[in-house]
Amino acid sequence: MATSASRTTAWLFPGQGSQYVGMGQALARADESVATTIRSADEILGIPLSDIIFNGPESELIATKNQQPAIVTISTAYFLALRERNALPEPEFVAGHSLGEYSALIAAGALGLSDGLRLVRRRGELMREHGTGSMAAIIGLEGEVVDRIAREAGAEVANHNAPGQITISGRTDTVERAVELASAAGARRALMLPVSGAFHSSLMAPVVDGMRPLIDATHFTKSAVPLVTNVDARPIQHPDDLRTELLDQICAPVRWVDVVTTMSNAGVTHFHEIGPGKVLSGLVQRIARGAVTVTAETLLQTPPARTNSQAN
């Protein structure tokens, strides 16, 4: 997919936490192709997902079983709209933060939208069913210090999001203990997060067991460009490797610092965040100094006139 003129670009796709009620609605009202993509999720999943996305309530949108397919749906709609407008340089790599790996693989042609939405709907259901434990954010400590604190408390590191910005995961008592230790070690902030489970920890092992037969039965093709993996920041393209990554990333920490560093070291200078919000762009700017970041919502903020029916 990459071309010689655009070998310094990567596409990034956000994960849980990037959603908000009304995301994509203005664009869908102005662009029938966007509306069609979003409405297709209703048909694929057999639920009124577009109404939840556009109108909420927020409590319904943030339910994991809805949140995950909602983010993938909007990310894909934005991606298709950008491609239709020739507003998206071809990438050297794609990457996604946790759930965002599904959106990345859809964009890279390795996974169909229908299959991707069904997988993430079930992923969200399983994560809710097995949603024990807690997570916390630790701000202002070096990674090695947080690693040591997590081990001492019996918790696990879940996300290396940016230098000095790490999340931990595990049983609630172990995470609370890690927060106490981090505060004592001089963290600028150490706070429990409002999540429904200990994501990216060994407590998610039942989710892996539930997803394995579904992922094994899903058709994947070789991705047009490499996916830089959450688990070990390695570029992969083969369908077997893609399946393995989508299973391994459920319990493994998201090594986002390493993901961005791998792409930056390979010459990527421009990162396009394709999905709701701009969280990943902020993280990239802290990891790869001097990198150029562009968000889909900035590129799509002036949608073309639309003469067809409304999105919902």
Catalytic residue list contains 97: no
CB 287 within 8 A of CB 163: yes
200 catalytic, yes or no? yes
Q: Which of 200, 264, 272, 281 is catalytic?
A: 200
Active-site pick, 18, 50, 75, 98: 98
Helix pair angle (113-129, 32-45), 10° resolution: 50
Catalytic residues: 98, 200
